Amino acid sequence: MFSLFSGKLSSVLTTAFQGLTSAVGKIVNAVVTAAETITDVVVETVVTPTVEVLSHVPVLGDTVSSVTGLVSSTTDNLFGTLHNTATNIESGNLATTLTGLATDTSNLLGSLAVDTSSTLDHVSTTLINAAQDIPVVGEVASSVSNLISSTAENLVGTVQHLSESLQSGDVLGAVKGLLSDTTFVAGNLVTDTTNTVSDLLDSTSLITNTLAQTPVLGDVLSSVVASVDNVVGTVGDVGQYVANVDPVALVSDVLHAPAETLGTVVIDVSKVVSDVSDDLNPLVASTSSTPVVGTVVETATNAVDLVAGTVAAVGTGLHGFNALDELFNHTVSPV
């Protein structure tokens, strides 16, 4: 008797749940359809005429058209995702709903990344073509454009890797890939930025070379440019160091040998600080005989050297502190 009652109750609850999810799905679909209709009306009556008018304005017209196209495609993809989700909810199958939502979201992010990269590339190309005949400005625009394109390309790769992992159901792989891609993108962003700064220095060399002929100020300016160029090179190397870091392996090393791993990282940091101090030598040499300025620059570089030495000593101490690693391993993984 009880078993029969439980079966009927379960059947009633299942029917009620299906009815509820069906109602929710229909409501969501109706809301999305209404929002889509309103958006289409706004685009047709306001956006499209405005873009048509601006299309006759050089540079601005192409830029606005590209950005509008990006927004339009993203909006269409978003509405498609919402419609699919509403349909899955209406079916009453929770597993299908969640799986479909994950897949549609990853596809949406992937499409957004690709479309954004394409739009940035088109806009930057438009700006470069408009500025290429202007001395210095054209070269600067080209350098900045290369930085934007490279960064966008790396970000697109990251999103695509994440999307592929999520679609295959490999959540752990998605997390590992995201960590690795994050350090890769960050490191390459630093390197690409330093390359851009280096290109900018080359682009403005005509101006700086002219100013370098100025008595007293010219020597200081030349030393500043040389020092900046040196620092840019050092920072670029740091970018490559970060890009090559394997976050998963680093975390594993920290867990197994915290002192040695942190010591190695600290020593690497001290080398960077020391290199920056060496990079400033041209500036130190040119200002050594200048009252006040020379003293300030020398004091600053001495402070940098002191910091580098102190950090190196700390790193060396940690690196050799094997007792801490043994204690940590014994505590975490007692034999």
| pLDDT, mean of residues 108-123 | 77
**Domain stops at, among 107, 141, 169:** 169
Closest to 27 in 3D by CA, of 66, 64, 82:
82
In a domain, 197, yes or no: no
**Predicted local distance difference test score (pLDDT) of residue 19:** 62
Alpha carbon of 133 to those of 116, 122, 136, 206, 231: distances in Å? 27, 18, 9, 16, 31
Total tally of structural domains belonging to the chain: 2
Domain identity same for 15 and 116: yes
pLDDT at 334: 47
Shared-domain flag, residues 155 and 266:
no
Q: Is residue 195 part of a domain?
A: no
Do 158 and 259 lie in one domain? The reply is no
Domain boundary among 151, 169, 187: 169
The answer on 6 and 134 residing in a single domain is yes
- Domain containing 67 equals 1-169
Asked whether residue 94 is assigned to any structural domain, the reply reads: yes
Task: Report residue 2's pLDDT band, with 50, 70 and 90 as the boundaries.
Answer: very low
Mean pLDDT score, 317-333: 57
The whole-angstrom separation of Cα 147 and Cα 97 is: 40
30 and 133 housed in the same domain: yes
Cα–Cα distance for residue pair 234/144, rounded to 1 Å: 20
Looking at residue 18, its pLDDT comes to 64
Residues 138, 225, single domain; the answer is no
Taking 50 as the threshold, does the pLDDT of residue 192 lie above it?
yes
- Give the integer Cα–Cα distance in Å for 325 and 258: 6
Give the pTM. Answer: 0.59
Q: Look at residue 34 and tell me if it is in a domain.
A: yes
